[in-house]
Amino acid sequence: MSEERRVASNYTIEVKGMHCASCVGRVERALARVPGVELAVVSLLGEKASVRGNHQVTPEQLVQAVEKAGFQASSSQPVQVPNLLARWLVGLLLGSLIMATMTLGQHLNPWMEWAAATLIQFWGGAPLYQNAWKAARSRSTTMDTLVVLGSSLAYAYSTFTLLRAGHHPATYFESSIFIITFVLLGRWLEEGARQKARASLKGLLESAPQKARRLRDGQEEEIALDQIQKGDRLRLRPGEKVPVDGVIEEGSSSLDESLLTGESMPVDKGPGATVIGGTLNGTGSFTMRAEGLGQQSVLSQIAASVERAQLEKPPVQKLADQVASVFIPMILGLALLTALTWTLLGHPEIGLQTAMSVLLIACPCALGLALPVAYAVGLGRAAQLGILVRNPAALEKAAALHTVVLDKTGTITRGRPQVVEVHMDEASLRLAAALESRSEHPLARAVTAHCQQALPEIEDFQALPGRGVSGRAEGHQLRLGSPALFGVDPQGDPRTRIYLEVDGQLQGWLALSDPLRPDAAEAVRQLRTSYAVTILSGDRDLVVQAIASQLKVNGQGSLLPQDKKSAIQSLQEGGCRVAMVGDGMNDAPALAQADVSVALGWGSDLARKTADITLLHDDLTRLEQTFRLARAIRRTVRQGLAWAFLYNLLLIPVAAGLLYPRLLSPALAAGAMALSSLSVVLNALRLRWFH
């Protein structure tokens, strides 16, 4: 056995033939029984099983377990599925012919009806029979069990009546045909919905170009995408797609990032700006340095995260699975009770018809599809908007938040100090900038960047730790530093002041602050409409209170990382569900403590790895959009579940004969079941257009 096989512990198996939550449960139980398997999670919409196990587990064992449970499986090549469209079209043609002649008061030869019903029952319904038989062999039931029992009852009763009565007996051949036909239609539409739900993810993966222009030794060469190496210099011309993630070195342009952000407005980029593979270059040209390749690229990370999130189940999905697992046995018992009741009342034919209708109307397809379709479509839309969801369970919590906690530095502020006020003349500013040019402190870099003049040489430079710097320039003795260095009172100014002394005389001061991001005020305003918002920061409390007052929210400063975590814990103990938004390493403990953790894509790696959700786009207003999307997904899930349960609660009694003498025919029951599933799927697909 190779070293790779011995240490491998995670597998993904493609599974075909699942149509409801009961199927999902059956596959999970079959995989869990394989020796060495520790965890098996199955996605109905993604048609995949994610399995974690020890070194004893092999893909072949997993495939065999799934196939023994009655499903098609593969660890490598795609599994072939029956041509449902052709079977449905033939069934529709034959069924419509029979119904048309009946509407006109005519009858086809009963043996022709029997031949048509036989073709659809055993050729059209072959996939359903196969699934039901495999389920029976594994001592379980699925919705195919209900469909096969209902249609077989109609076909068998009609065949028996034809053999016994001969010319034009009362049969249900049209019902057996339409039962199979409606179910095949529903399956075909479900498969189309699954493909649409996965379309946005597939579009992301296929958005990168296949070739790039590499610059080497002054020459330009065209190479395949897989030949690009980290550090390669690539040239982008107007109208071309960016091949890989990287950084612009020369030139500038406007890039269309709507693939990731959903925004149609192009984004201006220049030297030092990051660009993402798959985005579209505008009218400019530039040279970039390749950085994120293959699985390290933003697109690959989005795709992997969405696929992983689709496999994980939120708590409400697990509850629905449990309900569905006992639902089918209950329906089988109810159908039998219905048949016996009507038979004892002296109406065996009504008993047969109502039993068939109960079996067909109660198929839990809608219940099984309500959650996975909504979450899959919602996660795909989130990826399009630059919202990377790692934990789908967090979406449930994000839909019911009470409080949003924001970090300050780098989250609602730029994280880079800037000179915001100057109280000295141009000559003094020039000397202050010259002194600061010898320092590596962030405040010093801000002062140097603010001065646009040529700077004199500094002699006898000396750093005064915690207070400032000193030196000589143009024959003057200079000192530059904090108010404490000169015994000056900054008069409660929350900004950072730096004073300049020239030859023992104060010449003025500079005020620096970490300015708010341009979108911070609007982002916080949006959040305040739905949530209590507070700022927790390690910066001075005076600074934090000033920003909090400006944004009209609560704030606390001078907090250590553990203090932020404790503050969130206190909110949770008070009954609040809390979201924490941060970008730095010191935010990781608070992110881990929060009910929902949101990291910013421009922040630290640790923050992004700790968070449930990462905002990839440099736009803080996406935060409220994220929570709004979570609420939309929850609303869609609730609508789907409500429809599925209400549908069954109302129509099962009708199918059982509650409105006698008006009875629901088995064919209409099958059609209603298909329409129920379709309505749930179409409702979930609306999330693709979420704005």
As a 3-state breakdown, the chain gives helix, strand, coil percent values, each rounded to 5, of 50, 20, 30
Number of CB atoms found within 10 A of residue 445's CB: 15
Residue 615's identity, in one-letter code, is L
Catalytic pick among 144, 232, 407, 539: 407
CA distance 27 to 342: 37
CA distance 595 to 609: 15
Note the helical H segments in 345-487. Answer: 348-361, 365-384, 393-398, 426-436, 442-450, 483-486
- CA distances to 213, 216, 217, 232, 242 from 220, rounded to whole Å, are 6, 6, 8, 12, 16
Burial per residue of 84-102, b for 16 or more beta-carbon CB atoms within 10 angstroms, e otherwise: beebbbbbbebbebbeeee
Q: Is 460 a catalytic residue?
A: no
3-class SS of residue 350: helix
- CA distances to 8, 107, 219, 431, 457 from 464, rounded to whole Å, are 56, 105, 51, 17, 19
- CA distances to 159, 240, 247, 266, 288 from 219, rounded to whole Å, are 80, 19, 20, 30, 15
Residue the block writes with tokens 């270059």: 281
Contacts of 441 (CB under 8 A, 6+ apart): none
- Sign (positive/negative) of CA torsion 554, 530, 407, 484? negative
Q: 570 exposed, middle or buried (CB, 10 Å; 0-12, 13-18, 19+)?
A: exposed
Strand order in the sheet with 476-481: 418-423, 505-513, 496-502, 476-481, 468-473, 459-464
**CB 564 within 8 Å of CB 583:** no
504 token code pair: 């023992």
Residues designated catalytic = 407
